A = this chain, B = another copy of it.
Amino acid sequence: MKGERTRQSILERAVDLASLEGLSGLTIGRLAEELGMSKSGLFAHFGSKEELQLATIDMARERFIDNAFKPALKAERGYPRLMAIARAWLSYVKRDVFPGGCFFAAASFEFDGRPGPIRDAIAKMMDNWIESIEKSVRMAQEEGHIDPDIEPEQLAFEINAIFFGANFSYQLRDDKKSLDRALQAIEARLESVRLVERPRRRRAG
């Protein structure tokens, strides 16, 4: 069907626009104008503004996973993958995968105080993301690469916080050093919990 193709290209543009103007600033009229199509024609693909917003989040999620997460999975589990996650995320910001910076960082702060399906969708996405980091931390512990007494939730919290801080400095303060600062911070933090001697066997315990 041609409709599906159109729908996809609408959403690609919607993601870019929402990344710059916010999910609330995403407007059907503006979006239709940019795509050179009618409001009603575009609208028919979604049925409501909220559906469009939810579909946009979904599309953004795919782009995020492909560009910020999946590349890190090529690194071997454990310490190397944790560092790969950091590098992949910072690279994803540097490459302007979203024109307005990390889509979900912005969306998180935009909707954290507005209950409803949109907030829920963003929260679910972020929960999964944080859990992915926690999982990588646990694997690094199982591999014997880092201190098993570290709480994975704590370390994941800190890593994610550095990501947000980097995005902030990079986007608002035009601080080009911020991505390097972030990498340095994460590397130092991981180094502080690294185990060098006597690595455990895989899946020990």
Grouping DSSP codes into helix (H, G, I), strand (E, B) and loop, the A interface class, with mixed when no group exceeds half, is helix
Question: Roughly how many angstroms separate A58 CA and B98 CA in the complex, as a whole number?
Answer: 30
Chain B residues near A112 (CB-CB < 8 A) = 100-101, 106, 168, 171-172
For window 88-133 of A, CB contacts with B under 8 Å fall at 99-101, 105-106, 108-114, 119, 122-123, 126-127, 130
Question: Roughly how many angstroms separate A127 CA and B168 CA in the complex, as a whole number?
Answer: 11
Chain B residues near A168 (CB-CB < 8 A) = 105, 108-109, 112, 126, 160-161, 164
Question: Roughly how many angstroms separate A28 CA and B134 CA in the complex, as a whole number?
Answer: 44
| A48 on interface, CB distance cutoff 8 Å | no
Q: How far is the CB of A54 from chain B (nearest CB, A)?
A: 17
Q: How far is the CB of A50 from chain B (nearest CB, A)?
A: 15
| A65 on interface, CB distance cutoff 8 Å | no
Partner of A110, one of B110, B122, B130: B110
| A80 on interface, CB distance cutoff 8 Å | no
| A51 on interface, CB distance cutoff 8 Å | no
Chain B residues near A122 (CB-CB < 8 A) = 172
The reply to whether A172 and B19 contact each other, CB–CB distance below 8 Å, is: no
Q: Could you say which of A99, A106, A161 has the most chain B C-beta atoms within 10 Å of its C-beta?
A: A161
Question: Which of chain B's residues has its CB closest to A123's CB?
Answer: B172
Question: Which of chain B's residues has its CB closest to A177's CB?
Answer: B153
Question: Roughly how many angstroms separate A165 CA and B161 CA in the complex, as a whole number?
Answer: 4
| A46 on interface, CB distance cutoff 8 Å | no
Residue-wise, chain A 167-181 has the 8 Å CB interface mask toward B (1 for contact) of 111011100011001
Question: Which of chain B's residues has its CB closest to A130's CB?
Answer: B173
Question: Roughly how many angstroms separate A199 CA and B134 CA in the complex, as a whole number?
Answer: 39
